[in-house]
Amino acid sequence: MRSDNARAGIQQAPARSLFNALGFTSEEMKKPMVGIVSSYNEIVPGHMNIDKIVEAVKLGVAEAGGVPVVFPAIAVCDGIAMGHVGMKYSLVTRDLIADSTECMAIAHQFDALVMVPNCDKNVPGLLMAAARLDLPTVFVSGGPMLAGHVGGQKRSLSSMFEAVGSYAAGTMTEDDVENFVENVCPTCGSCSGMYTANSMNCLTEALGMGLRGNGTIPAVYSERLRLAKRAGYAVMDMYNKGITARQIMTRDAIMNALTVDMALGCSTNSMLHLPAIAHEIGFDFDIEFANPISEKTPNLCHLAPAGPTYMEDLNEAGGVWAVMKELADIGLLNTDCMTVTGKTVGENIKNAINRNPEVIRPVDNPYTKTGGLAVLKGNLAPDGSVVKRSAVVAEMLVHEGPARVFDSEEDAIEAIKGGKIVEGDVVVIRYEGPKGGPGMREMLNPTSAIAGMGLGSSVALITDGRFSGASRGASIGHVSPEAAVGGPIALVEEGDMISIDIPNYKIELKVSDEELAARKAKWQPREPKVTTGYLRRYAAQVTSGNRGAILKTPEI
């Protein structure tokens, strides 16, 4: 046992005395020690129930012959951090989570791990740690929130943000907004649409690192407690069979996840997180992989914000495995990949059933024949940009309009809510990338304001920042290179014409090469927005969005 390094023999007698101080029995010190990484806290609705999940995991581990030991991971609620300086501290936690988990797991020589995450950066951060540590590891999330109900319709957090825009447009009263406040987020759990948290928890199943239902069983269902106990059983089975994370998290598994992403219509943030996870296994994931995968992968689901269905509906329809079965039946998945069940993908999904063809469209009747995400390139984004194609209305798939340029999210929101943005405009928000932000803030407030103002089918938004999974419309993010390093987005001027062609994966600034070169010669780097603390160190090390905003390893 790996944990014997910290517990066995005369040399480790001092350590055993400390285990005694923890209440370990001599019998327990002879059993595998399983770290349970708990992201429980009292500020994130998706994490407030995780203490219950962790207790169930502990029971499962103990029943299966292991010794469960809990240690923490941090998590930020993007919804609470949205729209102010706090959002700069969201994406950057992904690396803190991965690094701190690595430190705890190696320092204490755990034999295996169960990761209990839920929200946006918590899941990929722990997947990165799992790949890095290469131990027997199982994921079990806190689960999604149930949808809210307003006016007889299901609603979610994206409806809440759009209600604020509607109020600014004069189409909602303050009482209407408060009715949304009281009803759109009715339970604990990760917000109920196919936003980033739920996207990543579903893709954890597609990667093979979570049991069936990890991404879809609602947080408030007792079924999730049973799932947590089974995660405890599963990690001990993996330990006994010698199955480790990197045997599961392979190049093929990551490409499976990208394919499932296209079918589900996941958040654009997956195009930050999949490259970062791939980096941990030594796989150089290029975001342009998305386009050929998209070309052959039908979009089968339109969950909020793309459509009127929610995570509970996907769960009842058969969940992620039912989607995977649809894809496998037409040869789009590698079904030989190993999973945490000890079985292959093909063995897992062979009996999966699509119970609701309106929630999970069959492959012969998809929403679209192409996948949910697209990577656009051109002289405005030479290294690429990302759009959630499945959440773009048909009339905005091809668009050309004048640039309305803003150097911060706050300035853009003021203009949108002040009625200064009109039909046909292309809103450009720059200096909000990984380095320039720093921290690559989500732009849910401006996209929701555009939708709430009734401009969702006539105005595009382009940024070197990123979008919430709750954003919809022609919202193009991760523009690379970013403005802070002198990328072409830094050279856009008010009124420049910008052309967007999503079906053909193109984004162009209608300015001559000669004019762009002249502007580039005059461009000067901006003073850093943050000059102290973690964000300053992060800005100095982080890559652009097309590389997954990973941290560069310093030369030694």
Q: Are 477 and 385 in contact (CB under 8 A)?
A: yes
Q: What is the pLDDT of residues 347-371, one digit of tens each?
A: 999 999 999 999 999 999 999 999 9
Give the whole-angstrom CA distance, residue 335 versus residue 326.
12
For the purposes of burial, counting CB atoms within 10 Å of the CB of 525, is it exposed (0-12), middle (13-18) or buried (19 or more)? exposed
- Band of residue 423 on the pLDDT scale cut at 50, 70, 90: very high
Q: Is the pLDDT of residue 109 over 80?
A: yes
To the nearest whole number, what is the mean pLDDT of the chain? 96
- Band of residue 165 on the pLDDT scale cut at 50, 70, 90: confident
Name, in order, each residue with C-beta under 8 angstroms of 370's C-beta and a sequence gap of 6 or more: 262, 294, 295, 297, 298, 299, 389
Q: Which has the minimum average pLDDT: 176-185, 233-242, 466-475?
A: 466-475
Q: How far is CA 487 from the centre of its chain?
A: 25
Question: According to the model, what pLDDT value does residue 528 have?
Answer: 87
pTM recorded for the entire structure:
0.96
Beta bridge partners of 464: none
Q: Is the pLDDT of residue 169 over 90?
A: no
Question: According to the model, what pLDDT value does residue 517 have?
Answer: 97
Q: What is the pLDDT averaged over residues 68-85? A: 95
Q: What is the pLDDT of residues 247-295, one digit of tens each?
A: 999 999 999 999 999 999 999 999 999 999 999 999 999 999 999 999 9
Q: What is the pLDDT averaged over residues 117-139? A: 97
Q: What is the pLDDT averaged over residues 377-382? A: 98
Please compute, for residue 293, the number of CA atoms within 13 A of its CA located in the half-sphere on the CB side. 24
- Band of residue 53 on the pLDDT scale cut at 50, 70, 90: very high
Q: What is the DSSP string of 482-506?
A: -GGGT-GGGG--TT-EEEEETTTTE
- Band of residue 25 on the pLDDT scale cut at 50, 70, 90: very high
Question: According to the model, what pLDDT value does residue 452 have?
Answer: 85
Give the whole-angstrom CA distance, residue 121 versus residue 431.
21
Q: What percent of the chain has pLDDT over 90?
A: 92
Question: According to the model, what pLDDT value does residue 239 have?
Answer: 98
Q: What is the DSSP string of 268-320?
A: TTHHHHHHHHHHHTT----GGGHHHHHHH--B---BTTSSSB-HHHHHHHTHH
Question: According to the model, what pLDDT value does residue 555 have?
Answer: 61
Q: Which has the minimum average pLDDT: 87-101, 124-138, 376-390, 446-460?
A: 446-460
Name, in order, each residue with C-beta under 8 angstroms of 555's C-beta and a sequence gap of 6 or more: none
Q: Is the pLDDT of residue 556 over 80?
A: no
Query: Which ranges of 154-289 does DSSP label H, i.e. alpha helix?
Result: 157-168, 174-183, 196-207, 222-241, 245-248, 251-264, 270-280
- Annotated catalytic residues are 468
Q: What is the pLDDT of residues 301-312, one digit of tens each?
A: 999 999 999 999
Instruction: Reduce the secondary structure of 508-533 to three states and give it as a string.
Output: EECCCHHHHHHHHHHCCCCCCCCCCH
Q: What is the pLDDT of residues 2-23, one digit of tens each?
A: 999 999 999 999 999 999 999 9
Supply the DSSP symbol for 466: B
